[in-house]
Amino acid sequence: MSEALTALRVSLAFGRTPVLRELSFDLPQGDFAAVLGPNGAGKTTLLRLLSGSLAPQKGSIHLFGRDLASLPARERAASLAVVPQESRVLFPFTVLEVVLMGRFPRLGILGMESREDEAVAARCLEEVGMLTFARRPLDSLSSGERQRVFIARALAQEPRILLLDEPTTFLDLKHRLQVFGILSRLNRRSGLTILTISHDLNLAARHCRTIWILKGGSMLAHGAPAEVLTAERVQEAYGTDVEIGRDPRTGSPLVIPYPARDAGGNA
């Protein structure tokens, strides 16, 4: 399996504060990976580096074997799409108009959408179960519905890699399950390479093929969920006691957290 993204000894600091330290990894084509870790571990910064919106101070990142820093923005966007943690649309666009914005890397010199572009946008809306909402104003939708629209906008770029920054933030249980279900289906059916940041260890364990755990800007562990999500490893990363069970339906690891005990032994 060839590599979609490769990082070699990547480091970045903001001022005197190191954020990522000598980070090296490979993301194989067709993988579905989740980046886990506590707040401040460097997860969002890593995603910004992988998308090309930040450049590493040391080391290099390669996209399908090419130096990411050397690629023009339009060429990057034709291979790699990003769903940020928060997406804001300032004007009252319809759902279809928002998804058509994802066609920008594919438009011709005049920048005008064609019937083919509209067909692609409609297909992407259908992928996320939002085609019947195409003519609705975006601001009339719920948070979960809007997030599915933003995933469709990213898919409209027809990327080979999809990067997502905590796509289930602010969503209720039903919509968190829907989002991960959509991503899992896209990965299985089309072979889309997906890397998502997540705070939901159990959803990541159930759906993702590979888990990365960051701590303090370094790679604490990476591998299959059953290999990575051990009680000792999760406690080391998050500083809290956990028990690891098994999902009764899938057999994937099930992380059960417990509150820290005080000096007197009370929870």
Task: Judge whether residue 54 has pLDDT over 90.
Answer: yes
Note whether residue 125 is domain-resident: yes
Q: How do strand 193-197 and strand 161-165 relate by DSSP bridges? A: parallel
| Collapsed DSSP state (helix, strand, coil) of residue 254 | strand
Note whether residue 200 is domain-resident: yes
Task: Judge whether residue 264 has pLDDT over 90.
Answer: no
Note whether residue 264 is domain-resident: no
Overall average pLDDT of the 127-136 stretch = 96
pLDDT of residue 109: 62
Mean pLDDT of the chain: 92
pLDDT of residue 123: 97
Note whether residue 109 is domain-resident: yes
Overall average pLDDT of the 93-116 stretch = 86
pLDDT of residue 226: 96
Overall average pLDDT of the 209-226 stretch = 96
Q: What is the CATH number of the domain that holds 172?
A: 3.40.50.300
Note whether residue 262 is domain-resident: no
Residue 108 banded pLDDT, cuts 50, 70, 90:
low
Q: Which residues contact 205 (CB under 8 A, 6 or more apart)?
A: 211, 225, 229, 247, 252, 253, 254, 255
Note whether residue 263 is domain-resident: no
Q: How many domains does the chain have?
A: 1
Residue 266 banded pLDDT, cuts 50, 70, 90:
low
pLDDT of residue 263: 46
Note whether residue 265 is domain-resident: no
Cα–Cα dist 239/101, whole Å: 42
pLDDT in tens, 65-94: 999 999 999 899 999 999 998 777 778 899
Note whether residue 217 is domain-resident: yes
Length of the chain: 267
Task: Please tell me the pTM assigned to this model.
Answer: 0.93
Domain range enclosing 201: 3-257
Q: Which residues contact 153 (CB under 8 A, 6 or more apart)?
A: 98, 99, 101, 102, 124
